[in-house]
C-alpha cells in the first residue's frame, strides 16, 4: 500500500537531515527532496531551499546549477513557473542567491518575469545578475538569450494584419521590448548590441 503524503514528507525530511551535512556531494538528491516536498508543502520547501542556499554559498558560487537554475527549472515543472516567480518576488534572500551569487544564472526566469508582467522583479534580477562575479555566462550572453526568447514569443505579431485583437499583445510586447532595449544599451559589446537591436527593432 502506498504511504500517505504525511509519511512521505516525514521520510523526505529525515533524508534531508542526513544528507544536508554534505550539501555538495548530495546536491542531486537534496535538489530532488526539495522538489518533491514542494508538491504538497511549498512553505517547507522554501525553507529547505533557503537553508541550502545559505549553507551552500561557497558551493553555488562555483557550481550553482542544482540549487539555483536547475532548482527553479524543476520547481517550475512541479508547481508552475509563475508560482516560482512569486517565491522569488517574496523572498529577497533566495532571489539574491540565485541571481547574484550563483555560477548558474537562469536567463529563462528573467524572461518569465518579463513575460508574466513582473517587470519590477525582472529589473531586480537584472541588477543582481549585473553585479554577479561568479556567473559562467556573460551579461551579454544572458541578455541575448532573453531577447531571443522574447522574439520567439512575439513573432506572430509581425505576421498579423493590423487587428484590434492583437492590440493588447502589441502593447505588452512594446513594454517588454523597451525594458530590454534599456538593458541592451548598457552593454559594452558593440556587435552584440547591434545583433540584439535587430531582434528588437520591430517591437519598439
- Structural domains counted in the chain: 2
Task: Please tell me whether residues 120 and 23 are part of one structural domain.
Answer: yes
Last residue in a domain, options 76, 109, 130: 130
Q: Write out the three cell numbers for 77.
A: 515543472
Judge whether 46 and 94 are in contact, CB under 8 Å.
Answer: yes
Domain membership of residue 32 as a residue range: 8-130
Higher pLDDT, 124 or 197: 124
Higher pLDDT, 35 or 201: 35
How far apart (Å, rounded) are the C-alpha atoms in residues 199 and 68? 28
pLDDT at 17: 98
Task: Please tell me whether residues 38 and 122 are part of one structural domain.
Answer: yes
Question: How does pLDDT run across 81-98, given as a tens digit for each residue?
Answer: 999 999 999 999 999 999
What pTM value is reported for the model?
0.92
pLDDT at 1: 38
Task: Please tell me whether residues 147 and 108 are part of one structural domain.
Answer: no
Of the chain, the percentage scoring pLDDT greater than 70 comes to 95
Task: Please tell me whether residues 23 and 123 are part of one structural domain.
Answer: yes
Q: Is residue 166 one of the residues assigned to a domain?
A: yes
Which is nearest to 110 in space by CA: 75, 152, 143?
143
Task: Please tell me whether residues 13 and 97 are part of one structural domain.
Answer: yes
Question: How does pLDDT run across 152-196, given as a tens digit for each residue?
Answer: 998 877 666 555 567 888 888 999 999 999 999 999 999 999 999
Last residue in a domain, options 75, 103, 130: 130
Q: Is residue 13 one of the residues assigned to a domain?
A: yes
Question: How does pLDDT run across 31-53, given as a tens digit for each residue?
Answer: 999 999 999 999 999 999 999 99
How far apart (Å, rounded) are the C-alpha atoms in residues 22 and 19? 6
Q: What angle do CA 76, 80, 83 make, to 5 degrees?
A: 100
Last residue in a domain, options 83, 99, 130: 130
Task: Please tell me whether residues 13 and 100 are part of one structural domain.
Answer: yes
pLDDT at 3: 65
Task: Please tell me whether residues 92 and 182 are part of one structural domain.
Answer: no
Task: Please tell me whether residues 160 and 197 are part of one structural domain.
Answer: yes
Q: Is residue 118 one of the residues assigned to a domain?
A: yes
Judge whether 97 and 68 are in contact, CB under 8 Å.
Answer: yes
Amino acid at each position: 500500500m502506498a504511504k500517505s503524503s504525511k509519511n512521505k514528507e516525514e521520510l523526505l525530511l529525515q533524508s534531508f537531515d542526513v544528507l544536508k551535512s554534505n550539501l555538495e556531494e548530495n546536491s542531486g538528491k537534496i535538489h530532488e527532496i526539495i522538489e518533491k516536498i514542494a508538491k504538497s508543502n511549498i512553505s517547507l520547501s522554501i525553507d529547505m531551499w533557503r537553508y541550502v542556499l545559505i549553507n551552500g554559498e561557497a558551493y553555488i558560487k562555483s557550481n550553482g546549477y542544482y540549487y539555483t537554475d536547475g532548482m527553479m527549472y524543476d520547481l517550475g515543472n512541479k508547481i508552475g513557473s509563475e508560482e516560482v516567480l512569486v517565491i522569488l518576488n517574496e523572498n529577497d534572500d533566495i532571489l539574491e542567491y540565485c541571481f547574484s551569487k550563483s555560477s548558474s544564472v537562469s536567463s529563462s526566469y528573467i524572461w518569465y518575469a518579463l513575460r508574466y508582467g513582473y517587470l519590477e522583479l525582472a529589473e531586480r534580477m537584472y541588477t543582481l545578475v549585473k553585479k554577479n562575479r561568479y556567473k559562467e555566462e556573460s551579461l551579454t550572453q544572458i541578455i541575448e538569450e532573453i531577447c531571443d526568447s522574447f522574439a520567439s514569443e512575439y513573432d506572430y505579431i509581425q505576421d498579423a494584419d493590423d487587428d484590434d485583437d492583437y492590440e493588447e499583445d502589441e502593447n505588452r510586447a512594446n513594454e517588454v521590448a523597451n525594458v530590454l532595449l534599456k538593458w541592451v544599451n548598457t552593454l559594452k559589446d558593440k556587435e552584440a548590441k547591434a545583433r540584439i537591436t535587430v531582434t528588437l527593432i520591430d517591437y519598439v
